[in-house]
């Protein structure tokens, strides 16, 4: 049979199988939520902040500006020190070897904004409390250890992560998973309807018999509510 369909025929097929589309969308939504809630381990992020401050506040404005520029150039060095074995070994001892140095290094990400003297110590973990404790401990040990290594005492603990904070995981986002599952389920329903329509052997009109060289003797229209006497 000729399997060419117009847009109107496609829309009619989708409307005819609207329950198929509805069920497939709901199934996709539920599957996505199941994966998000039960199969994926959530990830939490907590942040502590360290401020690089001028070492002498009584200097002239020109000297302070030069020191600020020097501190900004040192930011990358400070970020590397945060993940250095010297700092992480201290953190590991403080946390009673609950995590390995490799695990700590993998979970820590020092982040700074452009031209900012604030270093954000961002920690990602499957437990929000662990993430907060690691972030706070890293910040404290970094402030304590760095002056011994750099011969400069210009670091100050600016803010600590809230250990008891009730935070949402950064991944997975249940709403995004649900929306994605709904869309994928709907697209899957469209594919099912298209397959049903394309591979259907039902004769719906005289045009379907054109390729079969079949003689059409006549047609019978649809009769509604017919009851023979």
pLDDT tens track for 59-84: 555 455 665 666 667 888 889 999 99
Q: What is the pLDDT of residue 227?
A: 54
| Residues 194, 199, 204, 206, CA torsion sign | positive
Decide: residue 137, CB within 10 A, 0-12 exposed, 13-18 middle, 19+ buried.
buried
Mean pLDDT in the chain? 84
Ordered structural domains, the chain, with CATH: 7-39+173-201 (no CATH), 44-56+65-159 (3.30.70.1130)
pTM metric for this prediction: 0.74
225 pLDDT above the threshold of 70 = no
Which residues make Cβ contacts (< 8 Å) with residue 82, sequence separation at least 6? 108, 110, 119, 121, 138, 142
Q: Are 21 and 190 in contact (CB under 8 A)?
A: yes
* Structure-block tokens of residue 60: 């002239």
So what's the pLDDT on residue 223? 66
* Length reported for the chain: 229
* pLDDT higher than threshold 90 for residue 38: yes
In the DSSP assignment, the letter for residue 65 is H
Query: Where is 180: in which H helix or E strand?
Result: helix 174-198
Q: Is the pLDDT of residue 169 over 60?
A: yes
């Amino acid at each position: 049979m000729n399997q060419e369909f117009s847009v109107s025929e496609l829309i009619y097929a989708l409307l005819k199988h609207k329950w198929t589309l509805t069920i497939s969308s709901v199934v996709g939504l539920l599957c996505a939520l199941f994966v998000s809630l039960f199969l994926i381990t959530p990830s939490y992020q907590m942040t502590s902040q360290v401020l690089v401050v001028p070492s002498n506040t009584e200097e002239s404005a020109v000297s302070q500006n030069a020191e600020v520029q020097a501190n900004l150039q040192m930011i990358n060095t400070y970020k590397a020190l945060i993940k250095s074995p010297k700092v992480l070994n201290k953190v590991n001892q403080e946390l009673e070897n609950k995590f390995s140095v490799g695990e700590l290094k993998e979970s820590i990400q020092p982040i700074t904004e452009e031209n900012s003297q604030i270093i954000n110590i961002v920690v990602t973990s499957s437990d929000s409390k662990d993430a907060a404790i690691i972030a706070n401990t890293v910040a404290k040990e970094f402030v304590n250890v760095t002056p011994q290594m750099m011969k400069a005492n210009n670091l100050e603990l600016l803010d600590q992560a809230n250990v008891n904070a009730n935070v949402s995981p950064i991944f997975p986002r249940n709403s995004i998973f649900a929306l994605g599952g709904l869309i994928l389920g709907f697209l899957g329903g469209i594919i099912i309807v298209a397959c049903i329509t394309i591979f259907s052997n039902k004769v719906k009109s005289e045009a379907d018999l054109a390729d079969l060289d079949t003689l059409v003797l006549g047609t019978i229209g649809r009769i509604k509510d017919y009851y023979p006497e």
